[in-house]
Structure 1
Amino acid sequence: VWVNGGDRIPTGHEETYRALARGLREGDDGAHPITYHPCGWRSSAQFFHTEDWLDLNMIETWTEWAKVYPAVMADTLLTPHKPVILGEGAYENGPEYPQGPITPLIVRRQAWWAFMAGGFMTYGQDRMWRMGPGWADTFDTPGAVQMGVFRRIATSRPWWRMVPDQGVFASGVSSERTLNAALRTTDSTCIMVYLASQCHVLLHLDKILAREVRATWVDPRTGEEQDAGRYTTGNNVPGRVFPRGEKAWFSTPGHWEDAVLILDAVPDSR
C-alpha cells in the first residue's frame, strides 16, 4: 500500500498530493492501492474521498481513542464505498497522550471498535516507532501479542460477510470508552459482539435466523473459549404465526477486562 501525505493536513497543497498519486500510479501501473495519511483527528475522506486515486480511507485518531468506532463508521457509510483503515490510533505504552498511557486493554478496544465498525486497524508501539534501544523487544509486548489473538478471533467466522448492527442490543450498548458493538453476517447465521468492559447486555436473539443459537465467550487477551449456553430465538417455531423475539442477558465473564461473545445459528435437525 502506498501511503501518501505523511501525517499532514493537505489544505493548500492538494495539487501536490494529487501529483504524487499520479506519479505512483504511473510508476507501478496501478499494482498497489493508494491511501492518504492525515494528521490529528481526521480522515482522508475529508479531503479526497471521491477522487479516483484514493483506493481506501485512512483515519488518525491519535489520543482520541474513544472515538474510533464513530470515526470508522462514518467512513464505512460513505459512497462510493471504500475500505477504511485506522492508520494511526494511540500507541501501546505511549506516554505522550493527554488521556494517559495506552494499556493493552486500550489497544484491544481500538482494534475491536475499528473491526466492528466495518474497518481494520494498524498496531503501534511507542518504543517501536521511536526506534530507541530495545525497540525489537516490543514485538512481544502484551498489546502486540494480543493483536495476533484479535486476528484469530475476528477471522474465525466469515468476516467478509459481516456488517455492523447495533440493533443487536436491546440494552447495555454504553458509549465512548466503554462502547459495546456488534457485527452480524448478512445471512443472519452469526453475530459477533465486543464488550469493552465488565458489563451486562441484553441481546436480541431473534437477530439470528434459526430456532436456536449457540453462544461462546472468547477472551480477547488469550483466545480462551468458554461455552455460554444454547438459547431459543423465537424464530421458526411451528404453529406460531408471528415470531416472538427472544432476548437474553449476558455478562462479561469473571475477571476479564473485556470480552467477545459469538452467537452461532444451530442447524435445524428436523
Structure 2
Amino acid sequence: MRHILLSLLLGTAPLAALPELRVAPDHRHLETTEGKPFFLLGDTAWELFHRLTREETITYLDARQKQGFNTVLAVALAEFEFDQPNAYGELPLENNDPAKPRDAYFQHIDWVIGEAAKRGLYTGLLPTWGDKWNKKWGKGPEIFTPENAARFGEWLGRRYKDQPVIWILGGDRPIENESHRAIQRAMAGGIKKGDGGKHLISYHPMGEANSSDYWPDEAWLDFHMFQSGHGRAAFPNYTLNARNLALPALKPTLDGEPNYEDHPVRGLMKDGKPTLWFGDHDVRRSAWWSVLSGACGHVYGTHSIWQFHDPAKRKQLTDARTPWQQALSLPGAAQMGIMRRFMEGLDWTKLRRDDTFLKAPEGGWKPDQMPMAAVAEDGSFAVVYLPDVKAGPINHDPFKVSFKPEQVEVIVFDPETGEQASLPAGTPGAVATALEGKQQDRVLLIREKAGR
C-alpha cells in the first residue's frame, strides 16, 4: 500500500503486470511463461531516456501503443551527448565510472519503463551504446573493463529484476579483440547475477552483421539479433535468418535494425548527400521477408525517432530530415501493427520458410522482387509475401499443403492497409486476376476453405 501511495504522489502508477518471457520449446520463437507465443514487434528509440521530457515520452509511447507495438528499444548510456545531462539535468555516472551509477538519472529510466509497461510495452534495454567499450567511430569515451562491466551489469540486473525488460548487449559495434569479448561476457554475467536470469538477453551488432558472428553458441545469449541496416536498397535479410536457423545450437532470430523509414540509402549517397530514402514499401519488404523466413518478430525504426530529431532544440548531427513528432505518423509504423495482427491471427509458430512452394518464372526472381513463402509444418496453411505483384505468375505447389486444390481458399491481403479479399476456392487464375492492376506488394494466405 505504501508503494502504491508513493507512486500516486509521484504521478506514476505501479507497473502493469506484463508476463515474463522465455524461449519457446522449439527454440525458434519466444513465448510468455504461460506458454502463449510472443511476436516481438519493436521500435528503436535509442535516445529515449536521454533526450525526451516525460511529457514527450508519453506522446511517443501512446503513439507506438496505438500503432500495435509491444516493445521499445532504448539505451541507458546513450550515444549522443553522453557528456551532457538528460532533460532533467542528470548525468548517468559519476566521473564516467560505470561502477558509480547515479540514482537520479536511473529514476527517470524507472519511470519510462513503468509508463511503457502500463501501455503493454516491454523495454528492450541496452545497458550502453557500443562506443563506450569499442570506440570504432563516434564520441565514446571507452569506459568499460570486464570488472566494471560486471558490476554495472549486476547493478542494472538487480534494479530491473522485477520489471518487464529484455536485455540487449552490444550497441552497434563489433567484437574485435578478447577485451571486447570479455566485457560483453562480464556484462551478461553481471546481469544474470543481478536479476537471477529472469530476463532474455540478446546482442545488437553493427550494420550487416549478426550476433552469431561473435556468439554462435554462447550460454547467456537467448536469441540472435542481426542488423540488416541502411546500406543497400534491398538487403536480403532472410539470408541472416537462414544462417542463424542452421546453427547446431538453435535459437530464435530477429532483425533488430533493418532499413529505417525516412533514412537515406547509404550505399547510394553521392558526395556525402542522400539520393534515395527508404520508404514504407522498403520497410514492409524487409519485415515480411524476415518474418516469413523464420524470425520471432521484427524491429522497426525511423531515422528521426531513434535520435528524436528536434531542430527546435538541438543542432542536427545526422541527415535526419523530419522532426520526430511528425515522424511518429510515418505510414510504415502502422503497417508494422497490421503485420503483427495478421500473424497473430494465425498459428504462426508452425510456419517454415519454403522456397519451393512457388514456381519461379523463367530466369528466376529479381533480387528486390524475391517472394517469401512459408508453409505450416502440418500443411494446414501457407503464407506468401509478394514484394511486387507484377514480378511474374503465381503458381504454388498443391502437394505442399494438406488439402486438395478444389478445397483451397486464397485470401489476398494488402499489407499497406490491412484490407483483404477472399477468392473462390479452386478457381483457375483467380490469384492472377485478383492481383491484376495492383501496385507493389501483397500477402497471400492459402488455406482450406472453411466448413469442410
TM-score, reference length from structure 1: 0.88
Matched, 1:141 2:330: yes
Specify the alignment match of 2:222 in structure 1.
Answer: 55
2-structure distance, mates of 1:76, 1:156: 24
Of residues 175, 188, 194, the one that matches 1:27 is 194
1:5-31 Cα offsets, whole Å, 9 max, x none, are 111101201111111110111111111
Shift of 1:198: 2.4
Matched, 1:118 2:118: no
2-structure distance, mates of 1:73, 1:45: 11
Specify the alignment match of 1:128 in structure 2.
Answer: 305
2-structure distance, mates of 1:254, 1:86: 32
Shift of 1:155: 1.9
| Structure 1 residues 108 and 253, CA gap change in structure 2 (3 angstroms) | farther
2-structure distance, mates of 1:6, 1:131: 17
Specify the alignment match of 2:75 in structure 1.
Answer: none
When structure 1 is superposed on structure 2, of 252-261 and 81-90 the one drifting more is 252-261
2-structure distance, mates of 1:202, 1:171: 8
**Runs of 4+ more than 6 Å apart:** none
SS in 1 for 2:352: strand
Specify the alignment match of 1:257 in structure 2.
Answer: 440
| Structure 1 residues 158 and 18, CA gap change in structure 2 (3 angstroms) | same
TM-score, reference length from structure 2: 0.54
Specify the alignment match of 2:243 in structure 1.
Answer: 74
2-structure distance, mates of 1:125, 1:267: 40
2-structure distance, mates of 1:253, 1:219: 14
Shift of 1:175: 4.3
| Structure 1 residues 201 and 37, CA gap change in structure 2 (3 angstroms) | same
Amino acid at match of 2:409: R
Of residues 188, 200, 204, the one that matches 2:379 is 188
Amino acid at match of 2:384: V
1:226-246 Cα offsets, whole Å, 9 max, x none, are 1222128xxxxxxxxxxxxxx
Amino acid at match of 1:9: P
SS in 1 for 2:264: coil
Contact 1:219 1:256 in 2 (8 A): no
2-structure distance, mates of 1:96, 1:257: 19
Contact 1:165 1:184 in 2 (8 A): yes
Contact 1:43 1:58 in 2 (8 A): yes
Contact 2:265 2:278 in 1 (8 A): no
Of residues 227, 244, 254, the one that matches 1:85 is 254
Matched, 1:11 2:202: no
Structure 1 spans left out of the alignment, 5+ residues: 233-246
Amino-acid identity (%)? 28
Contact 1:128 1:135 in 2 (8 A): yes
Shift of 1:267: 6.0
1-structure distance, mates of 2:301, 2:450: 41
SS in 1 for 2:385: strand
RMSD between superposed Cα atoms in Å:
1.9
Shift of 1:98: 2.2
1-structure distance, mates of 2:328, 2:340: 16
Contact 2:423 2:430 in 1 (8 A): no
Of residues 377, 384, 400, the one that matches 1:207 is 400
Shift of 1:205: 2.0
Specify the alignment match of 2:419 in structure 1.
Answer: 224
Specify the alignment match of 1:238 in structure 2.
Answer: none
Specify the alignment match of 2:278 in structure 1.
Answer: 102
1:160-195 Cα offsets, whole Å, 9 max, x none, are 111111121122462421110111111101000000
1-structure distance, mates of 2:338, 2:360: 28
Amino acid at match of 1:121: H
1:85-143 Cα offsets, whole Å, 9 max, x none, are 10111110112522431010000001001101100320000111121223133222111
Contact 2:241 2:290 in 1 (8 A): yes
Shift of 1:248: 6.5
2-structure distance, mates of 1:105, 1:260: 13
Structure (1/2) with the larger strand percentage: 1
Shift of 1:152: 1.5
| Structure 1 residues 248 and 96, CA gap change in structure 2 (3 angstroms) | closer
SS in 2 for 1:191: strand
2-structure distance, mates of 1:113, 1:169: 15
Which of these two proteins has the greater Rg computed from alpha carbons? 2
| Structure 1 residues 50 and 14, CA gap change in structure 2 (3 angstroms) | same
2-structure distance, mates of 1:157, 1:248: 25
Query: Equivalences for 1:168-179 in 2 at 5 Å?
Result: 168-172=357-361, 174-179=365-370
Specify the alignment match of 2:344 in structure 1.
Answer: 155
